[in-house]
């Protein structure tokens, strides 16, 4: 493979890495507006941001696999390591096909429990395969004596752990922790909660708002760390894939 064959996935991956944080923070801001102020005028932008992120996520997912495939051609791994990495990358390409279909299905049927379960299963399998690839690259960094492989694998694994979808799970959990849920959890009914003093209700509302704020702050930190990890991943991949070592000049001995 020539360098021009993987310039496009590297470029698309870098663009997606830059765009996705803005989509995330825009989604968070619109979510707060809808939750605290109750304005539905920005609901169309909320939906657009929520749909654009999976689109760029799929581009990023496929681009990373293409770069990893190019890396296997570029770096002279031993036969066993090469076969293992090729198996992991090819398997994740298959998972990517299912993940694309699951994302389209879940986007058209967001309330379907079956569509969500199918998407979540594909996402988890793809995530685990990516983590396995990253860890294997870190192991190979010692045997192949390439320090860049260690940081590529570490950054790739870190990006998987700090994926945006994990933040969405935290957000959904926090939204469900309402005062009604708390009272039902400790064995009191909604009528018991409604008959309580307003100060106690306000206290529970403040607890809910604080938990949501902490979750959003954690989500912002997750997005920043993931962006940094992907930036390191792309810089090192570009170094290995595009920068060629200059051949050493052969010093010819002159005949005396």
User: Is residue 252 a part of any domain in this protein?
Assistant: no
Instruction: Determine what percent of the chain is predicted with pLDDT higher than 70.
Output: 73
User: Is residue 10 a part of any domain in this protein?
Assistant: yes
Predicted confidence at residue 249, as pLDDT, reads: 42
User: Is residue 44 a part of any domain in this protein?
Assistant: yes
User: Is residue 253 a part of any domain in this protein?
Assistant: no
User: Is residue 40 a part of any domain in this protein?
Assistant: yes
| Domain count of the fold of the chain | 1
User: Is residue 92 a part of any domain in this protein?
Assistant: yes
Q: How confident is the model at residue 96 (pLDDT cuts 50, 70, 90)?
A: very high
Predicted confidence at residue 113, as pLDDT, reads: 82
User: Is residue 83 a part of any domain in this protein?
Assistant: yes
pLDDT at 117 over 90: no
- Burial environment of residue 119 by CB neighbours within 10 A (0 to 12, 13 to 18, 19 or more): buried
| CB 129 within 8 Å of CB 95 | yes
pLDDT at 102 over 70: yes
| CB 16 within 8 Å of CB 53 | no
Range of the domain at 206: 3-242
Q: How confident is the model at residue 146 (pLDDT cuts 50, 70, 90)?
A: confident
User: Is residue 135 a part of any domain in this protein?
Assistant: yes
């Amino acid at each position: 493979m020539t360098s021009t064959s993987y310039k496009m996935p590297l470029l698309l991956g870098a663009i997606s890495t830059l765009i996705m944080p803005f989509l995330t923070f825009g989604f968070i801001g619109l979510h707060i507006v809808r939750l605290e102020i109750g304005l539905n005028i920005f609901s169309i932008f909320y939906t657009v941001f929520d749909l654009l992120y999976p689109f760029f996520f799929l581009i990023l997912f496929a681009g990373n696999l293409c770069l990893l495939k190019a890396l296997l051609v570029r770096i002279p791994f031993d036969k066993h390591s090469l076969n293992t990495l090729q198996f992991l990358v090819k398997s994740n390409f298959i998972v990517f096909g299912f993940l694309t279909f699951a994302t389209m299905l879940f986007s058209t049927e967001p309330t379907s429990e079956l569509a969500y379960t199918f998407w979540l299963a594909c996402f988890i399998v793809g995530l685990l395969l990516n983590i396995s690839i990253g860890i294997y690259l870190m192991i190979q960094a010692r045997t192949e004596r390439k320090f860049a492989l260690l940081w590529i694998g570490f950054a790739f694994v870190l990006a998987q752990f700090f994926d945006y979808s994990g933040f969405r799970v935290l957000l959904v959990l926090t939204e469900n922790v309402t005062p009604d849920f708390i009272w039902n959890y400790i064995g009191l009914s909604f009528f018991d909660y409604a008959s309580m003093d307003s100060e106690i209700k306000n206290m529970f509302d403040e607890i809910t708002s604080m938990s949501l704020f902490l979750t959003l702050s954690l989500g912002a930190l997750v997005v920043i760390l993931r962006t940094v990890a992907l930036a390191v991943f792309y810089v090192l991949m570009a170094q290995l894939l595009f920068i060629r070592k200059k051949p050493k000049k052969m010093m010819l001995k002159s005949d005396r």
